[in-house]
Amino acid sequence: MTMPRVAIVSLGGTISMAKKVDAGVVPNLDAESLVTSLPELRAIAEIKTVPFRMVASSGLKFSDLLALREELDNLLKNEVDAVVVTQGTDTIEETSFLLNLTIQSDKPVVVTGAMRDPTTPGSDGQANLIAALRVAVSGFTSGLGTVVVMNDDIHHSRYVKKTHTSNPAAFSSFPLGPIGWISEDRVRIALKPATERFRITVDAGSPEKEVLLFTVSLGDSGRLLGHAGEFGYDGIILEAMGAGHVYPSILDTLEKLASIMPVVFASRTRNGEVLEKTYSFRGSESDLLKRGLISARSLDPLKARILLYLLLRSGRSKEEIRNVFNNWT
Ligand code: SIN
């Protein structure tokens, strides 16, 4: 029987941080080192190792991720049956969603990392890597989009969130749960997305865009927001209070900004859909909609920012962007 071919593509992150500098660890293990330290992996698949970046995930840029997308699509088209990406967990909820929206291939794409570095007792990197590889070779996530495997759970990138600073069970897909799990060497998928994967094609040579994420907070004047246009931002994600609420003092600024760029409001609760027509006070969700802002619906601010960035990068107009968000489920 021929073994499935899988590329393990390393970006850095805690899973690769085995070297101490001063008081803490820094990334230094590439994909080949990770695979060599865990010989069981080569009993599961024929592995190609690809050292792609060596950074903490907070240092990743959109240019890195668009280059990663291209690299993964090339590997999936020409060389392998599935890919596993290893990276830092701090931005996994953003990077995996970006891959989900941009990858052209329908073959399995699995992202994993570690909450505890390899020098720490109880480190989870090897367990996560072997679980991710098992998911990749199972083929069960073909056509489902990018998934994140952590702590023996399989999360869909559309929902996954990092919800704890250090606990190995840091990942949640609330209000849903994981779409599946790994038990011993068995991979189980219990849920599948009900809608088609939305795909965006971004030309790597297209002009860079910048999306501001602005959190609305009690007692703030919102002065900074007034300068978003002159600072050169191309779009704004407003992390509004509760169901989509802001203080009245920034309404005129928001209305003006919304006339020149997409301004999308999501909830800083990071849970639940922003409302449309329940409240009508000044600064309520219905007021924001009347003033031309766009609802992020059920997308949390971080996912909404990735979607808005990609839509801007792909050259969509404000009305086309509004349409995408309005039809989002
Ligand atoms: C990082 O995101 O690179 C650091 C933290 C982690 O990997 O868990």
Asked if 37 and 87 sit in the same domain, the reply is yes
The answer to whether the CB of 90 is under 6 A from ligand 1 is yes
d(CA 56, ligand 1 centre) in Å: 6
What pLDDT, on the 0 to 100 scale, is given for residue 294?
Answer: 98
What average pLDDT does this structure show over 106-117? Answer: 98
State if residue 95 touches ligand 1 by the CB under 6 angstroms criterion.
no
| Residue 197 within a domain | no
Ligand 1, residue 90: give the atom nearest the CA. Answer: 2
Are 21 and 106 in a shared domain?
Answer: yes
Gap from CA of 46 to ligand 1 centroid (Å)? 27
Specify the range with the lowest mean pLDDT, choosing from 48-62, 143-157, 225-239, 305-319. 225-239
CATH number at residue 315: 3.40.50.40
Q: Single out the residue in 135, 155, 189 at which a domain terminates.
A: 189
Q: With 0.95 as the threshold, say if the pTM is over it.
A: yes
pLDDT of residue 301: 98
Q: What is the pLDDT of residue 107?
A: 98
Q: Which residues contact 125 (CB under 8 A, 6 or more apart)?
A: 14, 15, 16, 34, 113, 114, 116, 117, 118
Q: Best mutation site among 11, 55, 87, 89 for ligand 1, i.e. most ligand atoms within 8 A of its Cβ?
A: 89
313 falls within a domain: yes
151 and 216 assigned to the same domain: no
Nearest CA to ligand 1 atom 2: 88
Q: Are 137 and 149 in contact (CB under 8 A)?
A: no
In a domain, 257, yes or no: yes
Closest CA relative to residue 149, chosen from 168, 128, 173: 128
* Domain span holding position 120: 5-189
* Residue with CA at minimum distance from ligand 1 atom 1: 88
Is the shortest distance between the CB of 57 and ligand 1 below 6 Å? yes
Mapped onto helix, strand or coil, the DSSP state of residue 36 is: helix
Active site residue 201: no
**Cα-to-centroid distance, 298 and ligand 1 (Å):** 26
Rg (CA), the chain: 21
Q: Does the Cβ of 94 fall within 6 Å of ligand 1?
A: no
For residue 70, report the phi and psi dihedrals to the nearest 5 degrees.
-65, -45
Other CB atoms within a 10 A radius of the CB of residue 200 amount to 16
Pair (28, 67) in one structural domain: yes
Does 196 reside within a domain? no
Q: Read off the tokens for 15.
A: 């899973």
Residue 290 pLDDT > 80: yes
Is a pLDDT exceeding 80 seen at residue 1?
no
Do 178 and 315 share a structural domain?
no
pLDDT at 86 over 80: yes
User: How many structural domains are present in the chain?
Assistant: 2
- Is residue 204 in a domain? no
pLDDT at residue 12 greater than cutoff 90: yes
Ligand 1 lined by 11 (C-beta under 6 Å): no
Ligand 1 centroid, distance to 26 Cα (angstroms): 10
Cβ burial 233-271 (10 Å sphere, 16+ → b, else e): bbbbbbbbbebbbbbeebbebbbebbeebbbbbbbbeee
Atom index in ligand 1 nearest the CA of residue 115 equals: 8
CA of 11 from ligand 1 middle (Å) equals: 10
Is residue 249 included in any domain, yes or no? yes
Q: Is residue 84 part of a domain?
A: yes
Which of 129, 154, 189 marks a domain boundary? 189
Is residue 141 in contact with ligand 1, taking CB distance under 6 Å?
A: no
- Asked whether residue 254 is assigned to any structural domain, the reply reads yes
What share of the chain has pLDDT > 70, as a percent? 100
Same-domain check for residues 264 and 156: no
Q: Does one domain contain both 29 and 141?
A: yes
pLDDT tens column, 229-282: 899 999 999 999 999 999 999 999 999 999 999 999 999 999 999 999 999 999
**Considering only CA atoms, which residue is closest to atom 7 of ligand 1?**
88
**Are 179 and 295 contained in the same domain?**
no
- 14 shares its domain with 130: yes
Q: Give dist(CA 5, CA 267) in Å, integer.
A: 41
Beta bridge mates, 166: none
Q: Of 225, 220, 256, 252, whose CA–CA distance to 238 is shortest?
A: 225
Instruction: With beta carbons less than 8 A apart as the criterion, state whether 16 and 10 touch.
Output: yes
Is the distance from the beta carbon of residue 13 to the nearest atom of ligand 1 less than 6 Å?
yes
Q: What's the mean per-residue pLDDT of the chain?
A: 97
| CATH code (residue 167) | 3.40.50.1170
Instruction: Tell me which of 14, 86, 112, 141 is the catalytic residue.
Output: 14
Is ligand 1 within 6 A of the CB of residue 89? yes
Residue 76 and residue 218 in one domain = no
Q: Helices marked H in 5-161 — which ranges?
A: 31-36, 41-44, 62-78, 92-102, 125-138
Ligand 1 centre to CA of 153 (Å) is 18
Same domain flag for 105 and 150: yes
Q: Quick one: 180 and 35 in the same domain?
A: yes
CA of 227 relative to ligand 1 center, distance in Å: 32
CB of 206 within 8 A of CB of 313? yes
Number of helices and strands (H, E) in the chain?
9, 16
